[in-house]
Amino acid sequence: MLITRLSPYAFHIGPIGVHWYGIFMVLAILGGGWYLMERGEQLGEDPDFLSRVTIWTVIWGIIGARVVFVLANDPQWIWTDPVQALKIWQGGLAYDGAVGFGVLALWIQLRKKPLVFNHIVDWTVPGIGLGIFMVRIGNIFNHEVLGRMTQLGFGRWPEQLIGSSIGVILIIRYFWIERYRTPPPGYQFWSAMFYYAIIRGFIGETTRDNPLYLIHYINPHWGIGFTTLMQLFTPPILIFTGLMMRRTWRKSAREGLVTDTATAL
């Protein structure tokens, strides 16, 4: 979607413009952090400890999102315009980097408490889904993350809405499993990342107007193309997350935490 009449600014404070993108991102962080803190209290952990863990996870998630975006899209900024590389308020965050750096920061803080880590990483899924949903809406206001043009009568693929729908799917799936299944700790997160990679890699990236690598195929009628950088990384991501899903079930079965693997989804 390219709606040029939409302003990227929600309002101005003097010469400083506040972007819709930033507002949506902050709301997603607050919503995800609130849910994580609410569930975290069930573990009997100190609320102050959980707050510190959450804050550092968010900080490193934002750093990772910007680092991966710059490396994947404009690596020349690092040596030609390093200040530009820091301007996250202008958009340009890679959600894959946010999740990767955020989970790594979470694991470092909780590496001596593996069970606590597995529970908490599961409870990040609603926040991740909310972030995907709201940040993609922010992309509409920033006139970025565009879909390819098609000859199907509707012009350009609404890529931001396709991306937002992935976040909605992750949230619905998470709460459905919470209500009707009893998966082992850690399974919710790794399975969410597994299905996110499938939907993003094989649907979202196919219609997104991104540069192509290795295989340069574009169908102008359908407005699809491959392979993008994300599509190249999709197979190893699926292998890794699939192995982690399997590991959570096997480990829990050995420890007697689950007895019915049929509850997996």
Q: What is the mean pLDDT of each run of 10 residues along the chain (265 residues)?
A: 86 88 91 90 82 91 89 83 79 82 93 90 95 92 92 93 96 96 93 96 93 92 93 95 92 64 49
Give the pLDDT confidence score for residue 257 in this predicted structure. Answer: 56
What is the pLDDT, as a whole number, of residue 246? Answer: 92
Per-residue confidence (pLDDT) for residue 261, from 0 to 100: 45
Among 150, 145, 146, smallest CA distance to 218 is for 150
Report the chain's terminal Cα–Cα distance, integer Å: 33
**Pick from 265, 19, 24: which is nearest to 132 by CA?**
24
91 and 139 Cβ atoms separated by less than 8 Å: yes
Q: Which residue has the tokens 């709460």?
A: 175
Q: And the tokens for 191?
A: 């399975």
pTM here?
A: 0.89
Q: Which residues neighbour 27 within 8 Å (Cβ) at sequence distance 6 or greater?
A: 134
pLDDT of residue 262: 45
**Domain extents for the chain?**
9-253
Instruction: Specify the pairing of strand 16-19 against strand 217-219.
Output: unpaired
156 is in an annotated binding site: no
- CA distances (Å), origin 5, targets 1, 2, 138, 141, 206: 12, 9, 14, 9, 27
Residue for token pair 């930033």:
22
Predicted confidence at residue 152, as pLDDT, reads 93
